[in-house]
Amino acid sequence: MKKVAVVGVGETKFSGPQEKTEVELFAEAAMEAITESNLKPKDIKALFIGNVLGDFAEGQGMVQSFAAENIGCLYVPANRYEGACASASMAIRDAFIWVASGYYDIVLAGGVERAATMGTGLATRTFAMFSDARYEYPAGITFPAVFAMLTHLYADTYKIPLQKLREQMARVSIQSYKHGSANPRAQFFGKNADMTVEKVLGSFMVSTPLTLHDCCPFSDGAATVVLASEEVAKKLTGKPVYITGTGQSSCGPLGNQSDYLPRIRAREISSQRAYEEAGLKPQDIDLCELHDCFSIASLIATESLGFFDYGTAGEAWEKGEADIGGKIAVNPSGGLKAKGHPIGATGAGQVYEVVKQLRGEVEPERQVEGARLGMTDTLGGDGGTLVNMIFERGW
Protein backbone atom coordinates (compact mmCIF):
# COMPACT_ATOMS: atom_id res chain seq x y z
CA MET A 1 0.00 0.00 0.00
CA LYS A 2 1.16 3.51 -0.86
CA LYS A 3 0.87 6.31 1.68
CA VAL A 4 -2.01 8.63 0.80
CA ALA A 5 -2.28 12.34 1.57
CA VAL A 6 -5.00 14.95 1.52
CA VAL A 7 -3.45 17.70 -0.61
CA GLY A 8 -6.40 20.08 -0.83
CA VAL A 9 -9.84 20.67 0.64
CA GLY A 10 -12.82 22.78 -0.34
CA GLU A 11 -16.24 23.49 1.11
CA THR A 12 -19.27 25.66 0.53
CA LYS A 13 -20.94 27.37 3.42
CA PHE A 14 -23.38 24.89 4.99
CA SER A 15 -26.80 26.54 5.06
CA GLY A 16 -30.55 26.33 5.00
CA PRO A 17 -32.45 26.18 1.68
CA GLN A 18 -30.58 27.95 -1.09
CA GLU A 19 -30.79 28.56 -4.80
CA LYS A 20 -27.64 26.87 -6.08
CA THR A 21 -28.06 23.43 -7.66
CA GLU A 22 -26.22 20.38 -6.38
CA VAL A 23 -23.93 20.47 -9.41
CA GLU A 24 -23.17 24.14 -8.72
CA LEU A 25 -22.56 23.56 -5.02
CA PHE A 26 -20.27 20.62 -5.72
CA ALA A 27 -18.36 22.61 -8.34
CA GLU A 28 -17.77 25.46 -5.89
CA ALA A 29 -16.26 23.11 -3.29
CA ALA A 30 -14.38 21.05 -5.90
CA MET A 31 -12.66 24.00 -7.59
CA GLU A 32 -11.53 25.30 -4.18
CA ALA A 33 -9.97 21.93 -3.38
CA ILE A 34 -8.38 21.50 -6.82
CA THR A 35 -6.97 25.04 -6.79
CA GLU A 36 -5.63 24.63 -3.25
CA SER A 37 -3.91 21.43 -4.44
CA ASN A 38 -2.09 23.32 -7.21
CA LEU A 39 -3.83 21.09 -9.74
CA LYS A 40 -6.11 21.50 -12.74
CA PRO A 41 -9.36 19.55 -13.31
CA LYS A 42 -7.61 17.54 -16.04
CA ASP A 43 -5.22 16.13 -13.43
CA ILE A 44 -8.06 14.35 -11.56
CA LYS A 45 -8.13 10.64 -12.46
CA ALA A 46 -11.51 9.81 -10.87
CA LEU A 47 -14.32 11.38 -8.81
CA PHE A 48 -16.07 9.69 -5.89
CA ILE A 49 -19.12 11.64 -4.74
CA GLY A 50 -21.51 11.11 -1.84
CA ASN A 51 -25.07 12.14 -2.63
CA VAL A 52 -28.09 10.69 -0.89
CA LEU A 53 -31.34 12.34 -1.87
CA GLY A 54 -30.65 14.38 -5.01
CA ASP A 55 -33.32 12.31 -6.75
CA PHE A 56 -35.91 13.65 -4.29
CA ALA A 57 -34.46 17.14 -3.74
CA GLU A 58 -33.99 18.10 -7.39
CA GLY A 59 -35.16 15.16 -9.47
CA GLN A 60 -31.48 14.66 -10.33
CA GLY A 61 -30.01 11.19 -10.44
CA MET A 62 -26.45 10.30 -11.50
CA VAL A 63 -25.29 13.69 -10.24
CA GLN A 64 -21.66 12.53 -10.20
CA SER A 65 -21.36 12.49 -14.01
CA PHE A 66 -22.88 15.94 -14.41
CA ALA A 67 -20.71 17.26 -11.58
CA ALA A 68 -17.54 15.86 -13.16
CA GLU A 69 -18.33 17.30 -16.58
CA ASN A 70 -19.31 20.66 -15.07
CA ILE A 71 -15.84 21.19 -13.60
CA GLY A 72 -13.95 19.95 -16.63
CA CYS A 73 -13.03 16.50 -15.34
CA LEU A 74 -13.88 15.02 -18.71
CA TYR A 75 -14.43 11.35 -19.49
CA VAL A 76 -13.02 10.14 -16.17
CA PRO A 77 -14.75 7.53 -13.97
CA ALA A 78 -17.25 9.17 -11.61
CA ASN A 79 -18.96 7.12 -8.91
CA ARG A 80 -21.82 8.00 -6.57
CA TYR A 81 -21.94 6.69 -3.00
CA GLU A 82 -25.08 6.29 -0.95
CA GLY A 83 -24.66 5.29 2.67
CA ALA A 84 -27.16 7.74 4.15
CA CYS A 85 -25.37 10.32 6.28
CA ALA A 86 -22.01 8.51 5.93
CA SER A 87 -21.96 8.74 2.11
CA ALA A 88 -19.09 11.20 1.69
CA SER A 89 -16.94 9.33 4.19
CA MET A 90 -17.53 6.13 2.22
CA ALA A 91 -16.49 7.99 -0.95
CA ILE A 92 -13.32 9.35 0.65
CA ARG A 93 -12.40 6.00 2.21
CA ASP A 94 -12.80 4.24 -1.14
CA ALA A 95 -10.79 6.99 -2.86
CA PHE A 96 -8.10 6.41 -0.23
CA ILE A 97 -8.06 2.68 -0.98
CA TRP A 98 -7.77 3.24 -4.75
CA VAL A 99 -4.88 5.67 -4.34
CA ALA A 100 -3.23 3.42 -1.75
CA SER A 101 -3.46 0.54 -4.22
CA GLY A 102 -1.58 2.52 -6.84
CA TYR A 103 -4.36 2.31 -9.42
CA TYR A 104 -5.01 6.08 -9.37
CA ASP A 105 -2.56 8.74 -8.15
CA ILE A 106 -4.96 11.70 -7.80
CA VAL A 107 -8.65 11.38 -6.89
CA LEU A 108 -11.29 13.97 -6.00
CA ALA A 109 -13.77 12.80 -3.36
CA GLY A 110 -16.52 14.47 -1.40
CA GLY A 111 -20.24 14.98 -1.43
CA VAL A 112 -23.18 17.29 -1.95
CA GLU A 113 -26.72 17.54 -0.62
CA ARG A 114 -29.75 19.84 -0.57
CA ALA A 115 -31.60 18.38 2.40
CA ALA A 116 -32.88 21.77 3.58
CA THR A 117 -34.37 22.51 0.17
CA MET A 118 -36.66 19.50 0.58
CA GLY A 119 -38.44 20.99 3.60
CA THR A 120 -39.17 19.24 6.89
CA GLY A 121 -41.95 16.90 5.69
CA LEU A 122 -40.17 15.38 2.69
CA ALA A 123 -36.80 15.41 4.45
CA THR A 124 -38.28 13.57 7.44
CA ARG A 125 -39.92 11.04 5.10
CA THR A 126 -36.80 10.43 3.03
CA PHE A 127 -34.42 10.29 6.02
CA ALA A 128 -36.71 7.57 7.42
CA MET A 129 -35.79 5.52 4.33
CA PHE A 130 -32.52 4.73 6.14
CA SER A 131 -34.45 2.76 8.72
CA ASP A 132 -35.96 -0.57 7.66
CA ALA A 133 -38.74 0.20 5.17
CA ARG A 134 -40.68 -2.98 5.88
CA TYR A 135 -40.16 -3.65 9.57
CA GLU A 136 -39.65 -0.16 11.07
CA TYR A 137 -41.27 2.50 8.89
CA PRO A 138 -44.86 1.24 9.36
CA ALA A 139 -44.52 2.17 13.08
CA GLY A 140 -43.81 5.77 12.02
CA ILE A 141 -40.09 5.78 12.76
CA THR A 142 -38.25 9.02 12.08
CA PHE A 143 -34.59 9.84 12.64
CA PRO A 144 -35.19 11.87 15.76
CA ALA A 145 -37.30 8.96 17.05
CA VAL A 146 -34.38 6.53 16.65
CA PHE A 147 -32.09 8.68 18.80
CA ALA A 148 -34.94 9.57 21.16
CA MET A 149 -35.38 5.85 21.87
CA LEU A 150 -31.62 5.49 22.30
CA THR A 151 -31.77 8.33 24.85
CA HIS A 152 -34.34 6.57 27.01
CA LEU A 153 -32.42 3.31 26.62
CA TYR A 154 -29.17 5.05 27.59
CA ALA A 155 -30.79 6.51 30.73
CA ASP A 156 -32.14 3.08 31.69
CA THR A 157 -28.94 1.15 30.86
CA TYR A 158 -26.58 3.42 32.83
CA LYS A 159 -29.15 4.34 35.52
CA ILE A 160 -28.91 8.08 34.89
CA PRO A 161 -32.06 10.03 35.82
CA LEU A 162 -33.59 11.29 32.56
CA GLN A 163 -33.60 14.93 33.68
CA LYS A 164 -29.88 14.76 34.53
CA LEU A 165 -29.11 13.12 31.19
CA ARG A 166 -31.09 15.78 29.33
CA GLU A 167 -29.08 18.50 31.07
CA GLN A 168 -25.83 16.77 30.11
CA MET A 169 -27.07 16.50 26.51
CA ALA A 170 -27.86 20.21 26.53
CA ARG A 171 -24.17 20.82 27.31
CA VAL A 172 -23.32 19.03 24.05
CA SER A 173 -25.52 21.40 22.05
CA ILE A 174 -24.21 24.44 23.91
CA GLN A 175 -20.59 23.50 23.16
CA SER A 176 -21.40 22.87 19.48
CA TYR A 177 -23.24 26.18 19.14
CA LYS A 178 -20.28 27.98 20.73
CA HIS A 179 -17.81 26.63 18.16
CA GLY A 180 -20.24 26.87 15.23
CA SER A 181 -20.92 30.52 16.01
CA ALA A 182 -17.21 31.20 15.32
CA ASN A 183 -17.08 29.16 12.09
CA PRO A 184 -17.90 31.32 9.03
CA ARG A 185 -18.85 28.21 7.00
CA ALA A 186 -21.28 26.99 9.65
CA GLN A 187 -25.05 27.16 9.21
CA PHE A 188 -25.31 28.80 12.64
CA PHE A 189 -22.32 31.14 12.24
CA GLY A 190 -22.85 34.10 14.54
CA LYS A 191 -25.87 32.46 16.17
CA ASN A 192 -26.86 30.70 19.40
CA ALA A 193 -23.56 31.40 21.22
CA ASP A 194 -25.70 32.40 24.22
CA MET A 195 -27.55 29.07 24.37
CA THR A 196 -28.44 27.84 27.87
CA VAL A 197 -29.54 24.52 29.35
CA GLU A 198 -32.96 26.05 30.02
CA LYS A 199 -33.36 27.14 26.40
CA VAL A 200 -32.40 23.69 25.09
CA LEU A 201 -34.78 21.86 27.42
CA GLY A 202 -37.58 24.35 26.81
CA SER A 203 -37.46 24.41 23.01
CA PHE A 204 -39.98 22.70 20.72
CA MET A 205 -40.38 18.95 21.38
CA VAL A 206 -39.48 16.89 18.30
CA SER A 207 -39.57 13.33 19.64
CA THR A 208 -39.49 12.80 23.41
CA PRO A 209 -37.14 13.62 25.05
CA LEU A 210 -35.34 15.36 22.14
CA THR A 211 -36.13 19.03 21.58
CA LEU A 212 -35.27 21.18 18.58
CA HIS A 213 -31.93 22.15 20.14
CA ASP A 214 -31.01 18.47 20.63
CA CYS A 215 -31.35 17.96 16.86
CA CYS A 216 -29.08 19.00 14.00
CA PRO A 217 -30.67 21.07 11.22
CA PHE A 218 -31.46 20.05 7.66
CA SER A 219 -28.75 21.61 5.50
CA ASP A 220 -27.62 22.33 1.96
CA GLY A 221 -23.93 22.24 1.09
CA ALA A 222 -20.95 20.49 -0.47
CA ALA A 223 -17.42 19.57 0.59
CA THR A 224 -14.54 17.93 -1.26
CA VAL A 225 -10.98 16.71 -0.78
CA VAL A 226 -8.19 15.86 -3.19
CA LEU A 227 -6.22 12.73 -2.33
CA ALA A 228 -2.82 11.94 -3.83
CA SER A 229 -0.13 9.35 -3.43
CA GLU A 230 2.79 10.36 -1.19
CA GLU A 231 5.18 10.94 -4.08
CA VAL A 232 2.70 13.17 -5.92
CA ALA A 233 1.69 14.91 -2.70
CA LYS A 234 5.27 15.95 -1.94
CA LYS A 235 5.44 17.79 -5.27
CA LEU A 236 2.13 19.59 -4.65
CA THR A 237 2.25 20.79 -1.07
CA GLY A 238 4.52 21.35 1.90
CA LYS A 239 1.64 20.47 4.21
CA PRO A 240 0.36 17.00 3.27
CA VAL A 241 -2.10 15.46 5.73
CA TYR A 242 -1.77 11.66 5.65
CA ILE A 243 -4.63 9.23 6.09
CA THR A 244 -3.06 6.62 8.36
CA GLY A 245 -6.02 4.42 9.30
CA THR A 246 -9.60 3.78 8.21
CA GLY A 247 -12.46 1.47 9.10
CA GLN A 248 -15.96 0.88 7.79
CA SER A 249 -18.73 -1.33 9.09
CA SER A 250 -22.40 -2.07 8.49
CA CYS A 251 -25.35 -3.64 10.28
CA GLY A 252 -29.12 -4.14 9.99
CA PRO A 253 -32.30 -2.79 11.58
CA LEU A 254 -32.13 -1.19 15.03
CA GLY A 255 -33.84 -4.13 16.75
CA ASN A 256 -31.23 -6.55 15.39
CA GLN A 257 -28.54 -4.52 17.22
CA SER A 258 -30.16 -5.31 20.58
CA ASP A 259 -27.21 -7.30 21.94
CA TYR A 260 -25.23 -4.04 22.16
CA LEU A 261 -27.64 -1.06 22.25
CA PRO A 262 -27.33 1.77 23.22
CA ARG A 263 -23.77 1.07 22.04
CA ILE A 264 -23.44 1.07 18.25
CA ARG A 265 -21.44 -2.08 17.58
CA ALA A 266 -20.66 -1.11 13.96
CA ARG A 267 -18.84 1.98 15.29
CA GLU A 268 -16.75 -0.11 17.67
CA ILE A 269 -15.69 -2.46 14.87
CA SER A 270 -15.02 0.40 12.45
CA SER A 271 -13.00 2.56 14.87
CA GLN A 272 -10.97 -0.38 16.22
CA ARG A 273 -9.95 -1.17 12.66
CA ALA A 274 -8.91 2.44 12.09
CA TYR A 275 -6.91 2.59 15.33
CA GLU A 276 -5.14 -0.70 14.51
CA GLU A 277 -4.28 0.41 10.99
CA ALA A 278 -2.86 3.70 12.29
CA GLY A 279 -1.09 2.04 15.22
CA LEU A 280 -2.80 4.45 17.62
CA LYS A 281 -5.01 4.45 20.69
CA PRO A 282 -7.99 6.73 21.46
CA GLN A 283 -5.90 8.80 23.89
CA ASP A 284 -3.46 9.68 21.07
CA ILE A 285 -6.13 11.61 19.12
CA ASP A 286 -6.09 15.42 19.51
CA LEU A 287 -9.45 16.21 17.93
CA CYS A 288 -12.42 14.33 16.56
CA GLU A 289 -15.15 15.51 14.24
CA LEU A 290 -17.92 13.07 15.13
CA HIS A 291 -21.48 12.40 14.09
CA ASP A 292 -23.59 14.49 16.46
CA CYS A 293 -26.84 14.31 14.50
CA PHE A 294 -28.50 14.51 17.94
CA SER A 295 -27.01 15.52 21.27
CA ILE A 296 -27.27 11.97 22.64
CA ALA A 297 -25.36 10.75 19.56
CA SER A 298 -22.24 12.56 20.78
CA LEU A 299 -22.30 10.75 24.13
CA ILE A 300 -22.81 7.38 22.46
CA ALA A 301 -20.10 8.09 19.87
CA THR A 302 -17.35 9.22 22.24
CA GLU A 303 -17.86 6.10 24.35
CA SER A 304 -17.74 3.68 21.41
CA LEU A 305 -14.68 5.51 20.05
CA GLY A 306 -12.91 4.88 23.36
CA PHE A 307 -12.58 8.49 24.54
CA PHE A 308 -14.74 7.99 27.64
CA ASP A 309 -16.06 5.02 29.63
CA TYR A 310 -19.58 3.78 28.92
CA GLY A 311 -22.19 5.88 30.70
CA THR A 312 -19.77 8.70 31.59
CA ALA A 313 -19.64 10.90 28.50
CA GLY A 314 -22.29 13.28 29.85
CA GLU A 315 -20.09 14.01 32.86
CA ALA A 316 -17.17 14.59 30.49
CA TRP A 317 -19.11 17.34 28.71
CA GLU A 318 -20.07 18.89 32.05
CA LYS A 319 -16.37 19.03 33.00
CA GLY A 320 -15.22 20.36 29.63
CA GLU A 321 -13.25 17.18 28.89
CA ALA A 322 -14.77 16.96 25.40
CA ASP A 323 -13.97 20.59 24.56
CA ILE A 324 -10.85 22.28 23.20
CA GLY A 325 -8.26 22.00 25.95
CA GLY A 326 -9.92 18.88 27.41
CA LYS A 327 -9.05 15.19 26.94
CA ILE A 328 -10.32 15.24 23.36
CA ALA A 329 -11.52 18.24 21.37
CA VAL A 330 -14.87 17.16 19.95
CA ASN A 331 -16.38 19.01 16.99
CA PRO A 332 -14.45 22.29 17.06
CA SER A 333 -16.25 23.05 13.76
CA GLY A 334 -19.60 23.17 15.54
CA GLY A 335 -20.39 19.65 14.34
CA LEU A 336 -23.57 18.60 12.61
CA LYS A 337 -25.51 20.53 15.27
CA ALA A 338 -24.12 23.97 14.45
CA LYS A 339 -21.98 23.63 11.31
CA GLY A 340 -24.82 21.75 9.64
CA HIS A 341 -25.66 18.37 8.11
CA PRO A 342 -25.96 18.27 4.31
CA ILE A 343 -26.03 14.50 4.61
CA GLY A 344 -24.24 13.48 1.41
CA ALA A 345 -21.45 15.99 2.13
CA THR A 346 -21.17 15.73 5.91
CA GLY A 347 -18.23 13.32 6.09
CA ALA A 348 -16.23 15.44 3.65
CA GLY A 349 -17.03 18.48 5.78
CA GLN A 350 -15.57 16.63 8.76
CA VAL A 351 -12.38 15.88 6.83
CA TYR A 352 -12.22 19.53 5.71
CA GLU A 353 -12.27 20.62 9.36
CA VAL A 354 -9.68 18.06 10.51
CA VAL A 355 -7.29 19.02 7.71
CA LYS A 356 -7.69 22.75 8.44
CA GLN A 357 -7.15 22.08 12.16
CA LEU A 358 -3.97 20.05 11.55
CA ARG A 359 -2.68 22.85 9.30
CA GLY A 360 -3.52 25.41 12.01
CA GLU A 361 -5.76 27.36 9.64
CA VAL A 362 -9.03 27.82 11.55
CA GLU A 363 -10.27 30.83 13.54
CA PRO A 364 -8.11 31.29 16.67
CA GLU A 365 -11.01 30.86 19.13
CA ARG A 366 -11.69 27.33 17.90
CA GLN A 367 -8.19 26.19 16.89
CA VAL A 368 -6.90 23.09 18.72
CA GLU A 369 -3.34 24.25 19.44
CA GLY A 370 -0.61 21.96 18.14
CA ALA A 371 -3.05 19.36 16.81
CA ARG A 372 -1.14 16.54 15.13
CA LEU A 373 -3.68 13.69 14.97
CA GLY A 374 -7.34 14.04 14.00
CA MET A 375 -10.18 11.59 13.50
CA THR A 376 -13.54 11.55 11.77
CA ASP A 377 -16.60 9.52 12.70
CA THR A 378 -19.58 9.34 10.37
CA LEU A 379 -22.76 7.35 10.92
CA GLY A 380 -25.38 6.46 8.32
CA GLY A 381 -28.87 5.30 9.21
CA ASP A 382 -29.46 3.90 12.69
CA GLY A 383 -25.97 2.40 12.74
CA GLY A 384 -26.33 0.82 9.30
CA THR A 385 -23.12 2.39 7.99
CA LEU A 386 -20.14 3.55 10.03
CA VAL A 387 -16.91 5.08 8.73
CA ASN A 388 -13.90 6.21 10.75
CA MET A 389 -10.72 7.80 9.42
CA ILE A 390 -7.54 8.97 11.14
CA PHE A 391 -5.40 11.83 9.82
CA GLU A 392 -1.82 12.81 10.67
CA ARG A 393 0.07 16.02 10.05
CA GLY A 394 2.77 15.20 7.51
CA TRP A 395 5.40 17.82 8.31
Partner 1 sequence: MEQKLIFKDYNEALKQNKLLGLKCRDCGAITVPPKMVCRQCASPDMEVVELKGSGKIRTFTTVFVASEGREDEIPYTIVMVELDDGPWIMGNLEGIDPKEASMELVGKKVKMGNKVFPGDKYSAGEGARPLFSLV
**Residues of the shown chain interacting with partner 1 in the complex, contacts defined by CB under 8 A:** 120-122, 124-125, 128-129, 132-142, 144-145, 148-153, 155-156, 162, 204-210, 252-256, 258
Are 112 and 220 spatial neighbours (Cβ–Cβ below 8 Å)? no
Q: How far is the CB of 16 from partner 1 (least distance, A)?
A: 17
d(CA 305, CA 43): 36
Q: Which residues contact 369 (CB under 8 A, 6 or more apart)?
A: none
H helices then E strands: how many in the chain? 14, 12
Residue tagged active-site, from 179, 213, 291, 341: 341
Q: How far is the CB of 213 from partner 1 (least distance, A)?
A: 14
78-81 and 210-211 strand pairing: unpaired
Q: Residue 317: phi, psi to the nearest 5?
A: -65, -40
Nearer to partner 1, 213 or 356 (CB): 213
Whether residue 213 lies in the annotated active site: no
By beta-carbon proximity to partner 1, the closer residue of 77 and 252 is: 252
* Active-site residue, 215 included: no
Q: How far is CA 349 from the centre of its chain?
A: 6
Half-sphere exposure in the Cβ direction for 55 (13 Å, CA): 8
Specify which residues 37 forms β-bridges with: none
- Shortest gap between Cβ of 206 and partner 1 (angstroms)? 5
Q: Which of 85, 216, 251, 288 is the catalytic position?
A: 85
The most distant pair of C-alpha atoms in the chain lies apart, rounded to whole Å, by: 58
Closer residue to partner 1, CB minimum distance, 114 or 366: 114
CB 257 to partner 1: min, Å: 9
Q: How far is the CB of 53 from partner 1 (least distance, A)?
A: 12
Among residues 123 and 274, whose Cβ is nearest to partner 1?
A: 123
Where do the DSSP E strands lie in 192-297?
205-207, 210-211, 220-229, 241-250, 287-289
73 near 308, Cβ under 8 Å?
Answer: no
What does the alpha-carbon distance between residue 192 and residue 202 come to, in Å, rounded to a whole number? 14
The smaller minimum CB distance to partner 1, of residues 54 and 332, is found at 54
Q: Please give the positions annotated as active site.
A: 85, 341
